[in-house]
């Protein structure tokens, strides 16, 4: 599938809903500078079901969450890079700071987050569980984060 066909922009969801094929797995993030930790998480998430949908924070959302100077890469580029990954079936951008509304729209069977979210409030988790789904926390790869990459680049 062409990468452009795997990207669904938030404002188009009513006309172009995300296909629900088999067990739908959802994860989300900024994915500003893609690194091995992201790849590991996405590949494991995909292995949990039949369709992996990645929610991608829009540029304004990343700026609010991460601060000045972010994102490094614009949402169009970030979406295209994610869509090019074999393990990713669909990328859906969203303008809100959390993917709560997107999770309710997609209705995934499994919501995946990194282990750093365990014990915290995860947007969409209650909805997924109330609709019969489950939340899975994946272990993180040590020393792999966009913030660390940016710190090293500034040295």
**pLDDT confidence bin for 149, thresholds 50/70/90:** low
Per mean pLDDT, which range of 46-50, 104-108, 125-129, 139-143 is the poorest? 139-143
Are 11 and 96 contacting, i.e. CB atoms less than 8 angstroms apart?
Answer: no
Residue 151's pLDDT is 67
**Would you give the distance in Å from CA 34 to the centre of its chain?**
12
Give the residue from 51, 36, 47 showing the smallest Cα distance to 106. 51
Give the residue from 30, 150, 146 showing the smallest Cα distance to 78. 30
Compute the Cα dihedral for 61, 80, 20, 40 and give only its sign: negative
**pLDDT confidence bin for 143, thresholds 50/70/90:** low
**pLDDT confidence bin for 78, thresholds 50/70/90:** very high
Beta bridge partners of 29: 56
Are 82 and 88 contacting, i.e. CB atoms less than 8 angstroms apart?
Answer: yes
pTM confidence score: 0.89
pLDDT digits (tens, 9 = 90+) for 10-29: 776 666 667 677 999 999 99
Give the residue from 131, 67, 55 showing the smallest Cα distance to 100. 55
DSSP symbol at 17: P
| CATH class for the region spanning 1-32+51-92 | alpha beta
Arithmetic mean of pLDDT over the chain: 88
């Amino acid at each position: 599938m062409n990468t452009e066909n795997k990207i669904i922009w938030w404002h188009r969801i009513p006309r172009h809903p995300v296909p629900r094929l088999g067990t739908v797995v959802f994860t989300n993030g900024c994915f500003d500078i893609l690194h091995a930790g992201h790849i590991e998480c996405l590949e494991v998430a995909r292995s949990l079901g039949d369709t992996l949908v990645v929610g991608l924070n829009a540029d304004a959302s990343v700026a609010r969450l991460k601060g000045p100077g972010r994102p490094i890469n614009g949402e169009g580029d970030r979406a295209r890079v994610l869509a090019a990954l074999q393990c990713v079936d669909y990328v859906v951008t969203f303008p809100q700071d959390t993917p709560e509304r997107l999770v309710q729209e997609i209705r995934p069977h499994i919501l995946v987050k990194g282990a750093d979210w365990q014990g915290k409030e995860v947007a969409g988790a209650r909805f997924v569980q109330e609709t019969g789904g489950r939340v899975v926390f994946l272990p993180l790869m040590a020393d792999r984060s966009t913030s660390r990459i940016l710190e090293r680049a500034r040295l």
